[in-house]
Amino acid sequence: MVNATAGTLLMLLVSNLLLSEKVASMPMNVSEAGRSEVSLKDLFDNATILSENITKLSTDMRMEFFYNNFSSRIFSKTLSSLHKKMRLNDVFDKCHTLPIKTPETKAEIRETSFEDFLNMTFRTLRAWEDPLKHLVTELSAMPGVPDVILSQAKAIEAQHKILLEYIMKIVSKVNPALQEKEDSLVWSDLDLLQAADEESRLFALYVFSYCLRVDLQIVEFCIYMLRCLHMHGKICYIESAPSF
């Protein structure tokens, strides 16, 4: 994954908004949307709403870190020093989900199957299970944490849990084999989050909130594609690709 990913996905999200309007006006294939598929569609509907919600929450939380006096000084300092050194990738490369390969170009998206999208979504969400638990625990123990940030973290953890449950239900319906392999993705920033000095702790929060937001945007896009592919088939590949 390179630095262009976040921007690429934002473009995709925009073009997908256009697509969903188009697709909504197309007649549904009744035989494909028959009885047996109803609950899978419901699961995708709920997962879509939840993933949009949780992405927004993670954006709000990162904004709050930037504006709140609790963290604003270190967050601004970190951002400007990264810009000065042109080292934005340094933060991206710290994300523990980096080994999960995600499509970055039009062509790569077309080569990404329904199962691949599901695999990515499942692995990414599962990789955040422990870190989010630790985030809430550590924030609760950290001096001076504002209520607004703590409650955002708690809401993200709670909604992530529900979203992961939806995805697990989908996985067990569609391809239980995806569940089998244990993942080796390790989040190793707990020490930094527990550090005695404030600057290290806030830097850990900087990286955490950055990676979380990027990953949730990716998950939102994957869930969008999954739902579209399930409902409408291969047309999703033609329309969803950004034109660059």
Ligand X SMILES: *[C@@H]1O[C@H](CO)[C@@H](O)[C@H](O)[C@H]1NC(C)=O
* Contact letters for ligand X, residues 149-168 (x by CB under 6 A): ------x---x---------
| Residue owning tokens 């925009």 | 14
Least Å distance between CB 243 and ligand X? 25
The residue from 18, 42, 93, 199 that contacts ligand X (CB under 6 A) is 42
Q: Which of 77, 70, 82, 176 is nearest to 122 (CA)?
A: 176
35 binds ligand X (CB under 6 A): no
69 binds ligand X (CB under 6 A): yes
177 binds ligand X (CB under 6 A): yes
Alpha-carbon distance of 100 to 163, in angstroms, equals 19
Residue pair 214/5 in contact by the 8 Å Cβ criterion: yes
Q: In sequence order, what DSSP letters do the residues of 217-231 get, joined into one string?
A: HHHHHHHHHHHHHHH
Alpha-carbon distance of 73 to 158, in angstroms, equals 29
243 binds ligand X (CB under 6 A): no
The number of residues that bind ligand X (CB under 6 A) is 19
3-state SS assignment for residue 153: helix
Q: In sequence order, what DSSP letters do the residues of 175-213 get, joined into one string?
A: -THHHHSPP------HHHHT-SSHHHHHHHHHHHHHHHH
The residue from 16, 78, 102, 119 that contacts ligand X (CB under 6 A) is 119
CB atoms inside a 10 Å sphere around CB 3: 12
Query: Please, which residue, 29 or 81, has the CB nearer to ligand X?
Result: 29
The residue from 9, 50, 109, 241 that contacts ligand X (CB under 6 A) is 50
Could you list the residues known to form a binding site for Zn(2+), using ranges: 220
Query: Please, which residue, 42 or 90, has the CB nearer to ligand X?
Result: 42
200 binds ligand X (CB under 6 A): no
The residue from 9, 19, 127, 178 that contacts ligand X (CB under 6 A) is 178
43 binds ligand X (CB under 6 A): yes
4 binds ligand X (CB under 6 A): no
Could you list the residues known to form a binding site, using ranges: 220
32 binds ligand X (CB under 6 A): yes
Output the CA–CA distances (angstroms, integers) from residue 90 to 1, 38, 98, 185, 203, in the order listed.
Answer: 12, 44, 12, 18, 12
Query: Please, which residue, 178 or 218, has the CB nearer to ligand X?
Result: 178
Q: At what angle do helices 198-232 and 38-67 cross, to 10 degrees?
A: 150
| Contact set with ligand X (CB under 6 A) | 29, 31-32, 39, 42-43, 46, 49-50, 53, 57, 69, 115, 119, 155, 159, 177-178, 181
